[in-house]
Amino acid sequence: MPEGDTVWLTARRLHGGLAGRTLVRSDLRVPRLATVDLRGRAVVEVVPRGKHLLTRVEGGLTLHSHLRMDGAWRVFAPGERWRGGPAHQIRAILGTEENTAVGYRLPVLELLRTARESTVVGHLGPDLLGPDWDPDEALARLRAAPERPLGDALLDQRNLAGIGNVYMAELCFLARLTPWTPVGEPPVAEALPRLVDEAARLLALNRERFDRITTPPGERRARLHVYGRARQPCLVCGTPIRVVADAHGEPGRERPTYWCPRCQRGPTLPDPPRAAPRKTAPR
């Protein structure tokens, strides 16, 4: 699942494959960009901003993309077989004489003036992996809505940019608080500075790798504490990890939320109701 660290590494690979080179192939497969041709322009740089990717090209243009849940960019050498999904999932192709970048399943792809990048990323809070990272500003933004659930506040990119569902679940576990505990509650208020520092540490630790790890070196029975480990024993207490679909304030975009019911204090959401067994007619 793409989060801030994945986007940072993706940007670095795109930058390494394209920056400073002239585009000889340009194919943007979304209706509003179907006639755009970037050939003949050099790629200036590729930079991440939270979960957003900004590919800047000559002439003051920026190709803005977002990976959301399962988007991906891949960079291929000449003659290398493209891997990343079937051809119908390709949304963008940017090629130079040396490399070709292919964007798969990109839910956001738009071209704008570089001077207007703030219209798509200006709302973001401090970037956990960016030059603008400011833990004090992130704390102030998180504390601004004390009634808000912790998990919801962490996922809001306007507070701090780069945290997705995986890190949200892992950070709440490390704080020993459920994601539904209000930010203004004393346990959260006490843990929040450490939690913000831990978020920055974990993303920095994982930005060079796609196989994300949040567990300490001596506890590698699993790479993550709770995320994706439903019904498996907690690494600390052995209690089965629970999961529930939670919208996090986004109706229609429910995400699985994982937590340990013993290690994490605070309110919880109930498990979704099980379907009643079908009744069969008597024979």
Q: Look up 51 and say whether it is catalytic.
A: yes
Q: Choose, from 74, 207, 212, 255, the residue flagged as catalytic.
A: 255
Alpha-carbon gap, residue 147 to 21, rounded angstroms: 50
Q: Look up 283 and say whether it is catalytic.
A: no
Q: Look up 170 and say whether it is catalytic.
A: no
Chain mean position to CA 228 = 15
Q: Look up 116 and say whether it is catalytic.
A: no
Q: Choose, from 3, 48, 91, 242, the residue flagged as catalytic.
A: 3
Alpha-carbon gap, residue 162 to 125, rounded angstroms: 9
Alpha-carbon gap, residue 135 to 141, rounded angstroms: 10
Beta carbons within 8 Å of 159's beta carbon, 6+ residues apart: 125, 138, 141, 142, 153
Helices (H), the chain: 4-18, 118-121, 135-143, 150-155, 165-174, 186-206
Alpha-carbon gap, residue 283 to 281, rounded angstroms: 6
Alpha-carbon distances of 214 from 10, 119, 205, 227, rounded to whole Å? 20, 33, 9, 10
CA atoms within 13 A on the CB side of 108: 14
- SS3 assignment, position 100: strand
Chain mean position to CA 176 = 22
CB 40 within 8 A of CB 115: no
Q: How far apart are the first and last CA of the chain?
A: 50
Q: Choose, from 49, 51, 56, 91, the residue flagged as catalytic.
A: 51
Residues carrying an active site annotation:
2-3, 51, 255
